[in-house]
Amino acid sequence: MSLRLFHVTEFAQSQLLSPASQRNASQPYVVVLLFSLWLASIGNLALWQALYRLPDSGAGKVWWTSIVLALMMYCAVVMLLCILNWRWTLKPLLTLLLLLAAFNAYFMLTQSVGIDVGMIKQILKNPGAQFRALLNWQCFFIIMLMGALPVIVLRRMSVRRTTLPRTLFQNLALFTVAAIALAGLWLFSHQMVLSLVKNQPQLRQLLNPFNVLQALGQILGSAFR
């Protein structure tokens, strides 16, 4: 009788404990792969736009270069999200990363430059003025499309709870596969990538979200010195 009563209680039927909800939930690595694809593709519209506008570049070369860089970015973002992929950190940190990438994309699409150290210092120095500068329809549209939309999808997704050893194994396995794929792409196309970066150094400022993460790392590093 007590066992039967337990099964019909609201506590037992909650989404956190329901076996059915766990079976229907997405595996954490699926979340990593899905949102890595979003960040590497939609999050880097400014990069693809800059590649398309390069002088003396045929359509075939632009497409080939974009595909290679997109695959490399995808592998790199997967490796980044594997580091964040833990039960209590995946959704909060991924939400923050999506919003940060959206703001970064806004500056890249409108000013052709990503968020750098100088921009972060300017924001911290006078946040009110910087916030007022963001009050325009372009910023609203880009943040809603690239930030709010994926965040809403993420918050509505049910992520399956996994044990710590299994999560560690999945993260290591996925990180290793992504690293091997990235190394293979680099060996296959490093001459093209190095030549592109050498001739167009501004492209390094459009690698979203790594450019803004690098800037934040430099700010934090200088603060703790």
- Residue 26 bridge partners (DSSP): 159
pTM score of the predicted model: 0.85
pLDDT per residue as tens digits for the range 56-73: 655 567 788 889 999 999
Tally: H helices and E strands in the chain: 12, 0
pLDDT of the residue at 11: 37
Return d(Cα 187, Cα 72) in angstroms, integer: 11
Could you give the C-alpha distances from 11 to 14, 16, 24, 138, in angstroms and in order? 5, 9, 19, 45
Q: Radius of gyration of the chain from Cα atoms?
A: 21
Widest CA span in the chain: 79
pLDDT of the residue at 18: 55
pLDDT of the residue at 205: 87
pLDDT of the residue at 119: 85
Dihedral angle over CA of 177, 179, 180, 184, nearest 10: 140
Return d(Cα 108, Cα 142) in angstroms, integer: 11
pLDDT along the chain (225 residues), means of 10: 44 47 82 96 92 70 85 96 94 96 92 84 78 82 94 94 93 98 93 84 89 89 78
pLDDT of the residue at 23: 65
Using alpha carbons, select from 9, 205, 215 the residue that is nearest to residue 109.
205
